[in-house]
Amino acid sequence: MKANIIILIMLVFWSCKDNTSKKTEVAESVTEVKTINQSANVDAFYPMLNQMDLSTMEVAAYRKSATDIVHHRNKENGRKASPILTKDSWQYEGIFRGSNFVNADSLKQTWITFKDDLTYEYGKNKEKKGGGIYAYNFDTGLLHMVDNDGNIKPNEYNVKIHNDLIILEGQATYKDNNIQAKLVRSPPVLK
């Protein structure tokens, strides 16, 4: 009987030790997966890029979910774009990302254009740097955006529009609640 108890205790200790090494292996593989990082150079990417410490698996899951949402919302509203967004281009004037502020000087000639076909393009000066699909609900003020680049996570914003000014407030859905941006209406950059 005592021998059985001693063997049982040894098995428990042995299995706990084995689980610790497995946890270490899993932690190391998760660290390796986190390959997507924020660029230090705002001009290099879409200025609203906000994906610090996200794994490629998280980005892929977010993109799948967001793409389904965008298609559903656009079907729901009859695939109609909002003229208030699509009339002109929008130029970035400032971005708060956490406690960091990117001012208008750093964002000069950085723009985004929402199109009637429910796509968007963004760039700097007259150079297009990327684009994607979007869904905007005027009643709720929610804007969903999915970039064409598979490495960029989707975004969801609460949009506040006043005349020729837009404020984008990031939502927690895709971990954007640390970001806000101010954009002003500008003539279309690309035609």
> 95 vs 91, 107, 154, CA distance in Å?
11, 9, 17
Instruction: Give the separation between CA 34 and CA 52, rounded to whole angstroms.
Output: 9
pLDDT at 31 over 50: no
Residue 53 — pLDDT band, cuts 50, 70, 90? confident
Instruction: Give the separation between CA 168 and CA 178, rounded to whole angstroms.
Output: 11
Q: So what's the pLDDT on residue 27? A: 39
**Cα–Cα–Cα angle for 123, 137, 146, rounded to 5 degrees:** 40
Which are the contacts of 35, defined by CB distance < 8 A and separation ≥ 6?
Answer: 55, 56
* Percent of the chain clearing pLDDT 70 (strictly above): 75
DSSP 45: S
pLDDT at 121 over 80: yes
| CA neighbor of 120 nearest in space, from 77, 76, 152 | 152
Question: Residue 1: enclosing H or E segment and its boundaries?
Answer: none
